[in-house]
Chain A
Amino acid sequence: MTAPPTAFGQLTGLLASAVVATAFLIVWRQSVPGRLALFAVQSALLAALAGATAAFTGKHELLVVALAVLAVKVWAIPRILRRVAPAVPRSPTAARSRVGPLLAAGILVFVAYAVMFPLTGGTPSPTAAGLPLALATGLIGLLVCATARLAFTQVLGFLVFENGVFMLALLATYGLPALVEAGVFLDVLVAVLVAKVVLGEIRESIQSTDIDRLRELRG
């Protein structure tokens, strides 16, 4: 079933586990700057993953991808999102218990292993073990997005989800064709910029991006 452990497989497995761990920490942390820092750490881990894959597979174009991750997700996006984040921290009374979300995140890891079974069974790829962890990262991002009370957290959840998708592409196929990869980075960056502008205008009009107040539209 499983390939014999190689240095490459062990390193990617370690990095993939660290990425999931940061996803859990994002669920656990309450503070906006803390979550943003964790997102930057998670993205840096992904850059390392891309770099490691480049080193072991000889696909040197992945080094460019790693640099792009550093530029877009570690540097640019946290800077943009800091503007979207609410200036005033939430009052301590608003703190919620994190047990429920953490438990849900734990369940999502099992779900990810169950869903990805057709991929992990009987494949010779050294990175196959990391595939469920990529999906788990994505699902935890969706969880953050779906349970968010701030628009900032929704966007952050989307970005964690996107990190999961990126990780899946990296581990499953060692990166996509360069043109597609470049387009995906551009899309994510533009999406965050567009979200920033729209949220800025919403804030101007209602002085808040607490999504409890974004309830004018009914379903």
Chain B
Amino acid sequence: MILLALLACPLLGALALVAARPGRPATVIHLLVAIGTALAALALAVAVALAGVVGVPAWSLRADPLSAFLVVLVAGVQLVAALGAPAYLAAEAAAARIAPERAARFGPLFHLFVWTMLLAVTTDNVGLMWIAVEGTTLASVFLITLERTRASLEAAYKYLLICSVGIAVAFMGTVLVYYANIQQLGESAETLDWSLLVTVAPRLPSGVVALAFVFLLIGYGTKIGLAPMHTWLPDAHSEAPAPVSALMSGVLLAVGLYALLRFKVVVDLAAGPAFARRLLVALGLLSMAVAATSLWAPQNYKRMLAYSSVEHMGLVCLGVAFGGWAGVAGALLHLLNHALAKSALFVLAGRVLQRYGSAEVDRVRGLRQAMPWTGAAFLAATLALLGVPPFGLFVSEVLILRAGFAGGYAWAAALALAALVAVFGGMLRAVNRMLHGACPDEIVAGENGRWPLAPVAVNLLVLLGLGLLFPPALVAVLGTVAGVVGGGG
């Protein structure tokens, strides 16, 4: 029931927004839908915490702790993005960068995008999950082209093509898993339900499932932004409007990872854990290396944030590969921390971009004087993202690296650490150059309204709390969630 409410909220909201009069009524509906989605997500989390698994079998819906974790993540980040969106869109419209008829598209597409992500993490059917993940791409293409600049159109086309091809590869993998299932258990096993796949997984032919996982890793890896399939990501994430970038970098990548995790459970049971582990370590390290070279001297701060997502997704993959409680729980915690820090940074980057009119690092000078609060928050969120204590990312990075050193992957953990250090230097240098120096004369000083900064402040406070307290309740929750992926105990 609560699952249906959660999915109905953004879908009906999107429909209502198509019909709504632009301006104030549309804005009110937009905010109400975002808040309603967040509340439904919290209710679902409570229900899952109490009952373990919540499901609507007739609709192939099923939420276990892992689903609930992702639902809360998606709903939280969409709330941050949605709260900042009206001010952002108003400023864009005032600067004549977005035409009114295109701005009216934002609300419906935004909530449709959120709906596809929520569906992807709450359906039990891996075929429907695939459709929903492809749906996330289709729903977000026109969000990227909102400003209709040539660069944003090209980025959207590249995003559509690469992700559609990638996701079709994942479909091939899904078909192979289905094939393995039918071969082993006969026509009676005509199901794509994950909960049933897991029960039969140990009996599935390991060769076919392993081959399927390679396809799935390439396919969903494209959505996660793992190198070498990441090439669409810096373009799409940097050209999209800030609230959309926040969603894409904060949670869309995590939804892709969720899909991969579901299949990792199946392949671990069918072919042994070593198979997926080797592949994930390789792609994780490659992603971190690619990101580190791009982040050594960033030219464009939105691309910098996008490449940093590639880096963090690589690290999360390493955590999943290292395994054990520390590895898997660390990876999940890192997803949460990264979503908080990255969504805050994209919202802030949007404010900087609106003021300076350029996403080039070299064109932004004296941010500290021009926008003192935004500048301070940008620095704090960057430090959090780079894993500086006392912010939450420090804890999750230590957990992941410790799992690597303890689990016989000391060399991989050492390489990951080296990449983290390199990124630290490069990104901090770029942010420092933006903060200091003389503010160009044509830039107006003063904040463009402070209340859009409120969600950012909340994100930073939560990050502080996660870093300082690391509450026992959270440890228990992460343990339960990690248990779904086989990282419990």
Contact = CB atoms under 8 A, between A and B. Distances in A.
Interface of A: 115-116, 118-119, 123, 125, 135, 138, 142, 145, 151, 154-155, 158, 161-162, 165, 168-169, 172-173, 176-177, 179-180, 183-184, 186-187, 190-191, 194-195, 197-199, 201-202, 205-206, 214, 216-217, 219
B141 interface: yes
B268 interface: no
B311 to A, nearest CB: 16
B192 A162 contact: no
Interface residues of B, number: 47
B171 interface: yes
Nearest to B238: A217
A179 B211 contact: no
A206 B128 CA distance: 38
Given A118-B208, A165-B172, A176-B178, A195 B160 contact: yes
* Majority SS at the chain A contact face: helix
Closest 3 CB pairs of A and B: A180-B127, A118-B207, A183-B131
A214 B159 CA distance: 13
A201 B208 contact: no
28 contacts: A118-B210, A118-B211, A138-B168, A154-B161, A161-B165, A162-B168, A165-B168, A172-B176, A172-B178, A177-B125, A177-B127, A179-B60, A180-B128, A180-B131, A183-B127, A184-B131, A191-B138, A194-B142, A195-B160, A197-B142, A198-B157, A198-B160, A205-B148, A206-B150, A214-B157, A217-B158, A217-B239, A219-B231
Given A119-B208, A179-B127, A202 B161 contact: no
Contacts of B150: 202, 205-206, 216
B192 to A, nearest CB: 6
A172 B123 CA distance: 24
B156 interface: yes
Interface in B119-165: 125, 127-128, 130-131, 134-135, 137-138, 141-142, 145, 148, 150-151, 153-158, 160-161, 164-165
A217 B138 contact: no
Given A125-B183, A168-B176, A216-B150, 10 more contacts: A119-B211, A165-B175, A173-B175, A179-B125, A180-B131, A190-B138, A198-B141, A198-B156, A199-B157, A217-B154
Nearest to A134: B172
Contact of A217 (B128, B155, B179): B155
Contact of A191 (B60, B142, B160): B160
Interface string B59-73: 010000000000000
B430 to A, nearest CB: 17
A76 B34 CA distance: 36
A187 B138 contact: yes
B108 interface: no
A57 to B, nearest CB: 10
B161 A219 contact: no
A180 B160 contact: no
Nearest to A123: B183
B158 A194 contact: no
A183 B145 contact: no
